[in-house]
Amino acid sequence: MQGYIPLILQGTWLTIILALTSLLLAMILGIVCALGKLADSKVCNVFCQAYTSLIRGVPDLVLMMLIFFGLQFLLNNITDYFNMPFIEIDPLIAGIMTLGFIYGAYFTETFRGAYLAISKNMLAAATALGLNKVQVFRYVMFPLMMRFALPGIANNWLVVLKATALVSLLGLSDLVKATKNAGEALYQPLLFALIAGAFYLFFTSISNIILWWLERHYSIGITKTKL
């Protein structure tokens, strides 16, 4: 088993990188599309609505296969047309783009709901106090958005973290792929499946602690009434 420990640790590191970078991309897409849904432009509204409806209506595994192989097919056509050498998409980059694109739709609704929950009177009061748009966003809008969006962000992050296991089907040597290979080589698939599950449970436990701290941080000033 010692010969597979470096392989499992390397797969674990790839899983962490994949999850964090996918989260960052998904949050950026979520903020952009949330602004697009709230914009006055009908084109932006229709485009962002179509994006979120498509993503939430198709299973994640099907979308992963379509996006991964679709990107490679498009790249192959471009290289063939311009007589360029064959370019293969790196599985890690493909996994990041796939997960970020898929879960950006879920973050869109999270940020849109958080923005709509902010009282417009508070923003108007901040402007009346002399704060410019950047200061209003930094000191008023963003903390309030985080307060309302954190439950959705927490749920989406945990889903993204567990969804990294599906990317092993695209050829990425992540934690699931490493433990699967080790289990098949040593004829102990159950043992290594338990090891993979323990790693994911550890990651989610650490995430819950961090999210709990963030919730307390952005809930400062809220008074809880006892019934």
What CA dihedral angle connects 64, 101, 181 and 1, to 10 degrees?
A: -160
Report yes or no: 52 and 133 within 8 Å, Cβ to Cβ.
Answer: no
Dump pLDDT digits (tens) for 28-48. Answer: 999 889 888 888 888 888 999
pLDDT exceeds 70 at position 2: no
pLDDT at 21: 94
**192 alpha-carbon distance from chain centroid:** 26
pLDDT exceeds 80 at position 218: no
Q: 174 φ, ψ to 5°?
A: -85, -165
pTM of the complete model: 0.84
Dump pLDDT digits (tens) for 142-191. Answer: 888 888 888 889 999 999 998 888 887 777 788 888 888 888 888 888 99
Report yes or no: 81 and 7 within 8 Å, Cβ to Cβ.
Answer: no
Q: pLDDT tier at 23 (50, 70, 90 boundaries)? A: very high
Domains and CATH numbers, the chain: 2-217 (1.10.3720.10)
Q: pLDDT tier at 222 (50, 70, 90 boundaries)? A: low
pLDDT exceeds 80 at position 3: no
Rounded CA separation 94/72 (Å): 9
Dump pLDDT digits (tens) for 92-137. Answer: 888 888 889 899 999 999 999 888 888 888 888 888 888 887 888 8
| Residue partners of 57: CB distance under 8 A and separation at least 6 | none
Dump pLDDT digits (tens) for 60-71. Answer: 888 888 877 887
Terminal Cα distance for the chain, rounded: 56
Paired tokens of 193:
């499946």
